[in-house]
């Protein structure tokens, strides 16, 4: 199941930098292919993210615990000192197929959740363009190629700590999506970079384009650190 999972584990602060749309803002029902930039969070002054990756498939729960451990470190420092010196970390990994049920966090209002979803969409729009895939956004969450979703967005924000993230279908067995209605959207399908480009594209192939897009959208620097194994050794 080759889906690139990118998880944001970091403290983003309460201030944001507002960016105006390059073209007309999105309206419900309209697809958008231009580079529409929503509000971009101002992360801590270091504007640095540490990228950790694991290309061994892992069970879902151990990977989730890595995220939770990083989030707890940020939360503990915020409670003790009012700020967090822990690193902002991007987690890249792939886990075995799993069905999950999402939980909405009521501490984040709908406008903030929408803004985070838009940021994730902008990342994948830029990445898709690097592979000449005509992706777009609609009033539905995610990134689409016509009526087929190619990337999902599930960023979670609680107490100004961001976890979970976004997923891009690279070379995935699409038959898994026949067992349920993806995102509860009747009549919609799922696609992948490999299907759209008619060539095999693994998650590793998409990493360079993702990093470039992430740095541009968030105005930050991403530094690679694979000194430890993401799952077995942890990242702290």
Distance set, CA 22 to CA 49, 172, 229 (Å): 26, 33, 40
Q: The pTM is what?
A: 0.68
Cα→Cα distances 42→14, 35, 39, 214, Å: 8, 19, 9, 13
| Residue 215: Cβ-neighbour burial (10 angstroms; 0-12, 13-18, 19+) | middle
Question: Is there a contact between 11 and 84 (Cβ–Cβ < 8 Å)?
Answer: yes
Q: Which of 7, 139, 170, 183 is catalytic?
A: 183
Q: What residue spans of 2-152 are helical by DSSP H?
A: 60-81, 110-130
Torsion angle defined by CA atoms of residues 167, 155, 7 and 49, in that order, rounded to the nearest 10 degrees: 130
- Residues 132-173: pLDDT tens digits? 898 888 888 788 899 999 988 877 777 778 887 788 889 888
d(CA 137, CA 126): 12
220 as an active site residue: the answer is no
pLDDT in tens, 198-221: 999 988 888 888 888 888 888 888
């Amino acid at each position: 199941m080759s889906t690139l999972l990118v998880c944001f584990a970091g403290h983003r602060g309460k201030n944001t930098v507002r960016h105006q749309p390059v073209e007309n803002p999105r309206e419900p029902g309209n697809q958008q292919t231009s580079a529409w930039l929503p509000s971009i969070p101002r992360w801590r002054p270091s504007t640095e993210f540490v990228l950790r990756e694991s290309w061994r498939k892992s069970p879902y729960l151990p990977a989730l615990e890595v995220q939770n451990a990083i989030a707890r470190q940020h939360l503990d420092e915020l409670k003790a000192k009012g700020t967090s010196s822990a690193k902002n970390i991007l987690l890249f990994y792939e886990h075995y197929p799993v069905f999950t049920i999402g939980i909405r966090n009521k501490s984040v209002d709908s406008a903030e959740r929408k803004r985070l979803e838009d940021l994730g969409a902008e990342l994948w729009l830029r990445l898709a363009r690097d592979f000449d895939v005509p992706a777009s956004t609609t009033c539905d969450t995610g990134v689409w190629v016509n009526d087929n979703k190619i990337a999902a967005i599930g960023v979670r924000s609680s107490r100004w700590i961001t976890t979970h993230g976004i997923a891009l279908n690279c070379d995935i067995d699409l038959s898994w999506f026949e067992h349920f209605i993806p995102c509860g959207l009747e009549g919609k399908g799922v696609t992948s970079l490999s299907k759209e480009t008619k060539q095999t594209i693994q998650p590793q192939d998409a990493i360079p384009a993702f990093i470039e897009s992430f740095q541009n959208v968030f105005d930050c620097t991403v530094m690679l650190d694979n000194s430890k194994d993401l799952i077995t050794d942890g990242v702290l």
